[in-house]
Amino acid sequence: MQSNIFSNGDLEPCPLCNSTERIVDNQRAEISCALCGLVLDESLVDNGPEWRAFDHEQRDKRTRVGAPLTYTISDKGLTTTIDWKNKDSNGRMISERNRAQMYRLRKWNKRLRVSRAGERNLAHALSEIDRVSSKLDLPRSPVREDASVIYRQATKKQLIRGRSIESMVAASIYTACRRCDIPRTLEEISEMSQVPKKQIGKNYRFLARELNIKLKPTSPVDYIPRFATRLGLSNKVQIKAIDIINISMKNGFNSGKGPTGVAAAALYIASMLLGERKSQKVVAGVAGVTEVTIRNRYKELSELDLGTSL
DNA sequence: AAGACGAAAGTGGTTGA
DNA sequence: TCAACAACTTTCGTCTT
């Protein structure tokens, strides 16, 4: 767990306990109060470069200050193609001695072109990973790094062929989020990457299968801090909501239900119990589900929790 | 007037023959 | 490839605060 505590007189005191001490949790991209744990800021922006350079050449390659390296200009018109016919520019046959040379030239020309194209695509993909995860407030470590690793593996196994770079980038990010227990919904990723939800899901399953990535289903608990903070709910409500989810999971409740719906319902109940009531509509909006789903989960949960004191 | 509730029909995706 | 199916959504009418 990468987290550190800092304190600063300029900081707004925590609304709950007035403390000016903060915990920075780089994994979840959250800043919370060191005393009471209230999440105060969930959009940590990392201003440093996302790359590491080990020598000058890499630094030159990776620095993106100055004229941008453009990935959009294809090498059309700039490449040299070597005809397969063994004739020179005047149409005369090339001598036996030069023919072997031509063969080697052709081979190398082809190789260089392919490797350059591959590098360019990878660079494009990695910068895309960075752009999208930045929009999603995802921490560099471990999520973006994990997404890059996944994408590289996919490249190595030739899984990108026939699929768009953008959609595979989105799928890599989604997979990395799941693996790091920092879930983002398909909707959120779809919105930021401009790739349809359906396609991300499809590619994600494809990636998981081909790369043998085993993933446990996301727990509703993982969504609680983010939703609660967006709703302006206190830390107490979060804890209560997590309690509710844990109790219901013990009773074998959540299987097959969408985790965001369960998280939303738990938050809704917790907010009512602690007198910080939010309307179903608002909670539904934040969680990306409808009021009806919240109602259904709410009903099921209240039937379930009869014996337990909440 | 806004929020909560529930019924009914529709949607997109999975599964199993 | 198709039909059955479960979860979720949309829509709408009614009741509650």
- Span A114-158, pLDDT tens digits: 666 677 788 888 999 999 988 888 887 788 889 999 999 888 888
Q: Is the CB of A201 under 7 A from strand C?
A: no
- Listed residue (A190, A193, A276, A182) closest to A228, CA to CA: A276
Percentage with pLDDT > 70 across chain A? 64
Specify the CATH architecture of the domain A220-304: Orthogonal Bundle (1.10)
Q: Give domain limits for chain A.
A: 3-41, 73-210, 220-304
Determine the distance between A121 (CA) and B6 (C1') in angstroms: 52
| Residue lying closest to nucleotide B2, CA to C1' | A279
- Token reading at A136: 């999603």
Number of other residues whose CB lies within 10 A of the CB of residue A32: 22
Residues A159-165, mean pLDDT to the nearest whole number = 84
Residues A201-211, mean pLDDT to the nearest whole number = 85
Q: Is the CB of A277 under 7 A from strand C?
A: no
Flag whether pLDDT at A259 surpasses 70.
yes
Lowest mean pLDDT among A25-34, A121-130, A201-210: A25-34
The per-residue pLDDT of chain A, averaged, comes to 75
Residues A227-235, mean pLDDT to the nearest whole number = 89
Three-state DSSP state, A22: strand
- Span A84-111, pLDDT tens digits: 666 666 666 767 767 777 777 777 776 6
Determine the distance between A260 (CA) and C7 (C1') in angstroms: 12
| Better-predicted residue by pLDDT, A56 or A234 | A234
Determine the distance between A116 (CA) and C11 (C1') in angstroms: 55
Residues across chain A: 310
b vs e for A63-83, b when ≥16 Cβ sit within 10 Å of the residue's Cβ? eeeeeeeeeeeeeeeeeeeee
Q: Cα(A43)–Cα(A137) distance, rounded to whole angstroms?
A: 5
Q: Cα(A281)–Cα(A292) distance, rounded to whole angstroms?
A: 9
- Residue A169: per-residue pLDDT: 92
Amino acid at A141: S
Chain C positions within 7 A of any protein Cβ atom are 6-11
- Residue A104: per-residue pLDDT: 78
Task: Determine the distance from the C-alpha atom of residue A183 to the mean position of all C-alpha atoms in its chain, rounded to a whole number.
Answer: 8
Query: Do A73-210 and A220-304 share a fold?
Result: yes
b vs e for A204-228, b when ≥16 Cβ sit within 10 Å of the residue's Cβ? beebbeebeeeeeebbbbbbbbbbb
Q: Cα(A310)–Cα(A308) distance, rounded to whole angstroms?
A: 6
Please give the sequence-ordered ranges of beta strands (E in DSSP) within A130-274, or none if there are none: none
Contact by Cβ (8 Å): A182, A175: no
Nucleotide nearest to A261 (CA to C1'): C8
Contact by Cβ (8 Å): A186, A167: no
Q: Cα(A188)–Cα(A202) distance, rounded to whole angstroms?
A: 16
- Confidence tier at A246 by pLDDT (50, 70, 90): confident
Q: Is the CB of A290 under 7 A from strand C?
A: yes
- Token reading at A96: 């036996």
Candidate CATH numbers 2.60.40.10, 1.10.10.10, 1.10.472.10, 3.40.50.300; the one for domain A73-210? 1.10.472.10
- Residue A25: per-residue pLDDT: 59
- Confidence tier at A195 by pLDDT (50, 70, 90): confident
- Token reading at A251: 């009773």
Percentage with pLDDT > 90 across chain A? 3
Residues A43-53, mean pLDDT to the nearest whole number = 44
Q: Cα(A63)–Cα(A51) distance, rounded to whole angstroms?
A: 9
Chain B positions within 7 A of any protein Cβ atom are 2-8, 12-14
Flag whether pLDDT at A175 surpasses 70.
yes
Phi and psi for A63 in degrees, rounded to 5?
A: -60, 135
Flag whether pLDDT at A61 surpasses 50.
no
Determine the distance between A278 (CA) and B2 (C1') in angstroms: 13
Q: Burial of A153 by CB count in 10 Å (0-12 exposed, 13-18 middle, 19+ buried)?
A: middle
| Better-predicted residue by pLDDT, A265 or A26 | A265
